[in-house]
Amino acid sequence: MNRTVLTVIAVLLIALGVVAASSMFTVYQTEQAIVMQFGKPQKVIQEPGLNFKLPFVQDVVYVDKRVLAVSTKREEVVTRDQKRLMVDSFARFRIADPLLYYQSFGNIQIAYERLETILNSQLRQNLGRQILTNIVSGERSNLMNQIRTQVNVEAKPSGIGVVDVRIVRADLPKENSDKVFDRMRSQREQEAKEIRATGAEIAQRIRANAEKERTVLIANAQKDSDILRGEGDGEKNRIFAEAFGKDPAFFSFYRSMQAYRASMSDSDTSMVLSPDSEFFRYFDQQKIEPAEVK
């Protein structure tokens, strides 16, 4: 009897443990929870902690509380100025209202698909109203804010709050890129030719000015040298004249010595002169009388 009672008590305790375990669930910081009863939402729990539900009757659906991201496929967009762009974009969002989210989508995959459709639609509409330079310039930030606001307006009734929208890449199609590249290269080559032509003109002008200055400098130097040479020759002649006036005999002797040195400096020189020539008059003199000093 006692063994039977103990067995029943043990079974009851195990059953109570199973029931208690079935009635408790934990919501973590990164999660939100919806308590469901027979497929109908009963309660939404957005704060982390230990919670309770009716065992075997109610179920719990967990919803992510973190910021999530959805990317769009590479799409072609035509701008207002009829330029074609290949655009990659993404949006970051969080589930603000888990009940609306569950009622609208049921699971995250359907939510991704719906957000991707909304984002593509808004990108086409907004980029189609812009010219290419606004999309690739500093206006892109304002444009992204507008798209985020409009995507958020469409997604909010489904319990989703869009945090940010960004264009990852906005490229021209390959054929357009090739044309743009060829045009840019032609422009740069034209600019290079103009710069080289301008540089050649400036270089020619600088060389002409330098040549002119060189000619003027050489002419002035030649003029100054001629003046100095003339003054030197005049001074030399004056000194010679003074020397000749003071001692004509010595001056005549000095000039004769210069003539000897100039004519006999080359060892191969041959001279045929009469011995009594005036040129050799100093060779016969044993002593040269100095001039009288006055």
- The domain limits of the chain are 2-64, 68-172, 239-261+274-294
- 119 pLDDT exceeds 60? yes
Output the pTM of the full model: 0.52
Q: Which two tokens stand for residue 259?
A: 């003539």
Amino acid at 35: V
Question: 25 forms bridges with which residues in the sheet?
Answer: 51
CA distance 96 to 32: 10
Q: Could you tell me which CATH number the domain at 68-172 has? A: 3.30.479.30
pLDDT of residue 291: 45
- 48 pLDDT exceeds 80? yes
Q: Are 89 and 125 in contact (CB under 8 A)?
A: no
pLDDT in tens, 207-244: 999 999 999 999 999 988 989 888 888 887 777 777 77
Please identify which residue in the block is written with the tokens 């590479």. 74
In the chain, the percentage of residues whose pLDDT exceeds 70 is 80
Where is pLDDT greater, at 251 or 39?
A: 39
- Rounded to the nearest integer, the mean pLDDT of the chain is 80
Q: Are 190 and 198 in contact (CB under 8 A)?
A: no
CA distance 85 to 72: 14
The three-point CA angle 97-99-101 to 5° equals: 70
pLDDT of residue 49: 87
In the chain, the percentage of residues whose pLDDT exceeds 90 is 13
Q: Are 159 and 88 in contact (CB under 8 A)?
A: no
What's the whole-number mean pLDDT along residues 158-169? 88
CA distance 84 to 77: 6
Task: For residue 273, count other CB atoms closer than 10 A to its CB.
Answer: 9
Task: For residue 85, count other CB atoms closer than 10 A to its CB.
Answer: 22
pLDDT of residue 175: 64
Q: How far apart are the first and last CA of the chain?
A: 177
What confidence tier does 144 reach under pLDDT thresholds 50, 70, 90?
confident
pLDDT in tens, 255-294: 777 776 766 666 666 666 566 666 666 655 544 444 443 3
3-state secondary structure of 28: coil
What confidence tier does 93 reach under pLDDT thresholds 50, 70, 90?
very high
Task: For residue 249, count other CB atoms closer than 10 A to its CB.
Answer: 13
What b/e sequence results for 30-56 when a residue is b if at least 16 CB atoms lie within 10 Å of its CB, and e otherwise? ebbbbbbeeeeeeebbeeeeebebeee
Using alpha carbons only, how large is the chain's radius of gyration in Å? Answer: 56
Which of 9-13, 56-60, 81-85 is predicted with the least confidence, judged by mean pLDDT?
A: 9-13
Q: How many residues does the chain have?
A: 294
- 70 pLDDT exceeds 60? yes
What confidence tier does 206 reach under pLDDT thresholds 50, 70, 90?
very high
